[in-house]
Amino acid sequence: MSINRDEALEWIKACVEILGENRDYLTQLDAAIGDADHGANMDRGFKAVMGKIPEMSDKDIGTIFKTVGMTLLSTVGGAGGPLYGTFFIQAGMKTAGKMELSLEDWTSAMDAALSGIVMRGKAELGDKTMVDALTPALNALKQAMTDDLPLNQALKNSAEAAREGMVGTIPLVARKGRASYLGERSAGHQDPGATSSYLILKTAADTWSNS
């Protein structure tokens, strides 16, 4: 079981759609503890990515991911641009030249992506950021490899772990980003970055459910 180049592109296209549909929801979450722009920024960035699809359609998966990352870096405002840009660029470097991805390949890409985000954003687990969704998602992939699960089940488990991590940000006090300025008042609100991370990984699990 593997993810081929066309399926990787389908995931990117599906992310454009999902983030567009959730633009207002992400904005509402961000309005409570941030600058109320996360939904608009993600929507704008992924719409710009959609414009790059034709030139990516004959490229390898690593090039596709790197192109997505560079596009997000140049079009997404706030912290989301550098962080999601880093996510896709690091994943692209790890999958350079590949026309299909195994579970091991995807796990390695996710590992590199998360490491890049941690290095750039200096956030740790429990800081009320996207790291709180991505870390359990990665751990679920590693566990799936240990348990020798099929790729589609591993992706489903990873998305569910991201969802639990996202929900787990609600009681946390933010220690990074704009939300940290609120101190204790940031508790009781779901982190928008963790939410968009979950949406992206849930979209991967849904798009690649037959992989």
Q: Tell me the pLDDT tens digit for each residue of 30-50.
A: 999 888 999 999 999 999 999
* Residue 123: CATH number of its domain: 1.25.40.340
The string of DSSP letters for 158-180 reads: HHHHHHHHHHTTTTPPP-SSGGG
Q: How many domains does the chain have?
A: 1
Residue 179 is predicted with a pLDDT of: 79
Is the entire prediction scored with pTM above 0.85?
yes
> Can you list the alpha helix ranges (DSSP code H) found in the chain?
5-21, 23-33, 38-56, 61-75, 80-94, 103-121, 131-146, 151-167, 192-207
Amino acid residing at 108: S
At a CB cut-off of 8 Å and minimum separation 6, what does 175 contact? 123, 126, 127, 128
Residue 79 is predicted with a pLDDT of: 79
CB atoms within 10 A of CB 69: 24
Cα–Cα dist 141/95, whole Å: 16
Residue 12 is predicted with a pLDDT of: 98
Q: Tell me the pLDDT tens digit for each residue of 160-169.
A: 999 999 999 9
Q: Tell me the pLDDT tens digit for each residue of 100-158.
A: 999 999 999 999 999 999 999 999 999 999 999 999 999 999 999 999 999 999 999 99
Q: What residue numbers bound the domain in which 168 lies?
A: 3-207
Residue 115 is predicted with a pLDDT of: 97
What mean pLDDT is reported for the chain? 95
